[in-house]
Chain A
């Protein structure tokens, strides 16, 4: 979680580099309207993730009220702390506003589409046990000729134990393990050893 001293806390607005890349990231005035954008994009998302079941569909598909990226980040950074004041509403059952109470209601919560420098953004979070367990912000760059989007998902500390547990059954590990020294203390090394011992 970012702290006031964290130099990367403002990662939501990284500097745009000089040169051609800045052209790619410049917001376009010709952004498609929400009604144009969402059905096809969401259908595309659904197709892509159809095999993955409800989780991605839930994160990507439902729609409710207004929540900007910056506000979302604020919330994400304080997910283990006290209430914040982001206006939002429930997606489905509860009538409580999830971010105005210290105990968030379980469920999938969705923000309205808003825009930032990357284009149209729509935030969704999943709350379980009163805490955010997943958050995403599919975004739709102004170049809408292709179904391009980036999902932004926070991995809260609270789910790390689950992530660790998943390691019990991996076959290989991708990571920057550039030296023999680091390899020796890596999960990959443990995997290799387990095979050598079999």
Chain B
């Protein structure tokens, strides 16, 4: 078993698994956990007192938002424009009753910032998994990249693919295979279900996560959109019929 620190924190409404392979001070983990709880307090649409809820409900103005919140909302807007509205934080009712829910971008953004925090504390080899969306650095073992399974849509314990990812990498999967889960197409307001799951591989989980959601909404056309607009990213798409699609660069990530 590798040395290092392993911790699972239930925050932002989901389990966040932090695996650090370096022998770093435990305070680094504490810092990350504090950050994630800060994000939750700031951006949760389940907490009526959070700034995002207050803003979404019209109780505070944009001027009263922190720069951090404004930056995230600006990011969300840029992704909405880029995806022609397939990613849209203002399309469905949020749990707080407002029509503003940036959760689809906040998670990836928060985990990517968490990864930066770990790096500033000297960690070079780690993997943060937030509800299946992953930011990682370095290797899992000396000279062995992280082996990342992509969950099979109908077999919870099986992997539809296993990837070897090292250095700096981010991977996110959008799917609705969980009971009650759904992803709304902002254009129709209806749940979208053309695909069983969409996985995106890149470097920055902020975008990788949001694009996974957008491509899921777009359906098969989304894979094509990604190829044309983000050739630096790779995608692995599974249809309900078991057929999968992948970008030409995806295969290089497959674990041998």
Tell me the A residues contacting B by CB distance below 8 Å: 1-2, 6, 8-9, 11, 14, 16-21, 24-25, 44-45, 48-49, 51-53, 56, 73, 76-77, 118, 138, 141, 143, 146-157, 160, 163-164, 166-167, 169-180, 182-183, 185-189, 191-192, 195-196, 198
Which chain B residues lie closer than 8 Å to A173 at the CB level?
129, 132, 148-151, 159
Please tell me if the beta carbons of B244 and A21 are within 8 angstroms of each other in the complex. Answer: no
Contact among A17, A176, A182 for B221, CB-based, below 8 A: A17
Q: A21-B218, A170-B147, A170-B159 are in contact. Are A77 and B131 (CB under 8 A)?
A: no
Chain A, Cβ-Cβ closest to B247: A150
In the bound complex, CA of A19 to CA of B222 (Å) = 13
Please tell me if the beta carbons of B175 and A176 are within 8 angstroms of each other in the complex. Answer: yes
In the bound complex, CA of A173 to CA of B219 (Å) = 23
B66 at the interface (CB under 8 A from A): no
Please tell me if the beta carbons of B174 and A160 are within 8 angstroms of each other in the complex. Answer: no
Q: List 13 A-B contacts (CB under 8 A).
A: A8-B241, A24-B225, A150-B223, A150-B227, A160-B152, A163-B160, A167-B162, A172-B148, A174-B151, A176-B151, A180-B14, A183-B15, A192-B8
Which chain A residues lie closer than 8 Å to B187 at the CB level?
17-19
Tell me the B residues contacting A by CB distance below 8 Å: 1, 6, 8, 10, 13-15, 17, 19, 84-85, 127, 129, 131-134, 136, 140, 146-152, 155-162, 171-179, 181, 187, 193-194, 197, 199, 218-221, 223-225, 227-228, 231, 238-252, 254-256
Cβ of B60 to closest chain A Cβ, rounded Å: 28
In the bound complex, CA of A142 to CA of B151 (Å) = 32
In the bound complex, CA of A51 to CA of B156 (Å) = 30
Which chain B residues lie closer than 8 Å to A49 at the CB level?
251-252
Which chain B residues lie closer than 8 Å to A189 at the CB level?
15
Contact among A53, A56, A138, A152 for B244, CB-based, below 8 A: A152
Please tell me if the beta carbons of B14 and A76 are within 8 angstroms of each other in the complex. Answer: no
Contact among A8, A17, A178 for B178, CB-based, below 8 A: A178
Please tell me if the beta carbons of B158 and A160 are within 8 angstroms of each other in the complex. Answer: yes
In the bound complex, CA of A19 to CA of B53 (Å) = 31
Q: A19-B84, A21-B84, A179-B14 are in contact. Are A172 and B246 (CB under 8 A)?
A: no
Please tell me if the beta carbons of B242 and A25 are within 8 angstroms of each other in the complex. Answer: no
Please tell me if the beta carbons of B227 and A141 are within 8 angstroms of each other in the complex. Answer: yes
In the bound complex, CA of A61 to CA of B127 (Å) = 36
Which chain B residues lie closer than 8 Å to A195 at the CB level?
1, 6, 19
Chain A, Cβ-Cβ closest to B250: A151
Cβ of A17 to closest chain B Cβ, rounded Å: 6
Q: A8-B194, A176-B177 are in contact. Are A167 and B157 (CB under 8 A)?
A: yes
